[in-house]
């Protein structure tokens, strides 16, 4: 039934999702070029609010749980599993107080309304996966911006999406590189559930009636632990939260 309903409501979802991206393209441009970073960030937060709640057109529910008293004004490395592109808008919106940046493929900086503009100008790292030197350099620059502005970064440590929801082993590279630039960063795991079910049949039809959940887990103590141990601890915390 959920797949059948997807044939009916997926076009409606895509229309509103695309309209949101198109409308916020000039809004972002005006905010960034005329008013600077703060105004641009507000526009991006608003964009991702609407992108997040476009899920209502599929009858999907959005639950974001954050009972952690995380410090504002200290760099945080959020470490999450990754299930679909629909993971991202809610992370940006609900963690907006922490100025979360992303490490993205450089190919995404062209051709996508609103998203490409934000990736170019939002302060994240856009990496060329075929050029390891460029990738490491961009992540280090991101770490320096985190340190300078007390920003945070979201890392999908699996390195790719888990299309069946089953977590892959976490990779340490991105976390280790960031910690070199901003060693005082807090490590905070985030568990994402059921986002993969939206696209289990591909881009059409999308699945209706999914309960999507994001849960911010307790910070991991960093004292005396190396990046490998911290990455493993984050992976284990998320696996426990997802019963994997």
pLDDT tens string 122-140 = 999 999 988 889 999 999 9
- Specify the CATH number for the domain of residue 79: 3.40.1130
Judge contact between 47 and 28, C-beta under 8 A: yes
In this predicted structure, what is the pLDDT of residue 201?
95
Quickly state the pLDDT bin for 217 (edges 50, 70, 90): very high
Residue 45 pLDDT grade (very low, low, confident, very high; cuts 50, 70, 90): very high
Sign of dihedral through CA atoms 242, 97, 86, 134?
negative
By the 8 A CB rule, do 208 and 194 touch? Answer: no
Give the integer Cα–Cα distance in Å for 226 and 219.
15
Cα–Cα distance for residue pair 32/30, rounded to 1 Å: 6
CA atoms of 7 and 208, how far apart (whole Å): 9
Q: What was the pLDDT predicted at 162?
A: 84
Say how many domains are in the chain.
1
Compute the C-alpha angle 215/221/226, nearest 5°: 110
What range defines the domain where residue 8 resides?
2-241
pTM of this prediction exceeds 0.75: yes
pLDDT category at 155 given cuts 50, 70, 90 is very high
91-121 pLDDT per residue, tens: 999 999 999 999 999 999 999 999 999 999 9
Burial class from Cβ neighbours inside 10 Å (0-12, 13-18, 19+) for residue 69 reads exposed
Q: Which of 130-134, 151-155, 217-221, 232-236 has the lowest mean pLDDT?
A: 130-134
């Amino acid at each position: 039934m959920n797949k059948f309903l997807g044939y009916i409501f997926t076009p409606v979802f895509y229309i509103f999702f695309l309209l949101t991206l198109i409308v916020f393209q000039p809004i972002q441009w005006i905010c960034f070029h005329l008013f600077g970073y703060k105004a641009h960030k507000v526009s991006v937060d608003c964009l991702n609010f609407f992108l997040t709640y476009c899920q209502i057109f599929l009858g999907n529910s959005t639950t974001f749980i954050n009972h952690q008293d995380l410090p504002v004004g200290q760099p945080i490395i959020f470490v999450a599993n990754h299930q679909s592109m629909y993971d991202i808008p809610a992370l940006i919106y609900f963690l907006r107080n922490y100025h979360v940046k992303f490490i993205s493929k450089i190919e995404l900086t062209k051709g996508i309304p609103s998203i490409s503009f934000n990736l170019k100008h939002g302060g994240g790292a856009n990496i060329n996966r075929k050029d390891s030197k460029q990738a490491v350099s961009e992540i280090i620059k991101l770490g320096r911006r985190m340190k300078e502005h007390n920003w945070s970064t979201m890392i999908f440590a699996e390195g790719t999406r888990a299309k069946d929801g089953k977590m892959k082993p976490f990779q340490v590279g991105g976390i280790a590189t960031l910690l070199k630039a901003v060693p005082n960063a807090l490590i905070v795991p985030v568990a994402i559930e059921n986002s993969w079910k939206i696209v289990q049949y591909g881009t059409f039809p999308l699945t209706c009636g999914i309960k999507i959940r994001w849960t911010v887990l307790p910070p991991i103590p960093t004292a005396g632990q190396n990046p490998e141990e911290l990455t493993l601890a984050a992976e284990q915390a998320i696996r426990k939260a997802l019963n994997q």
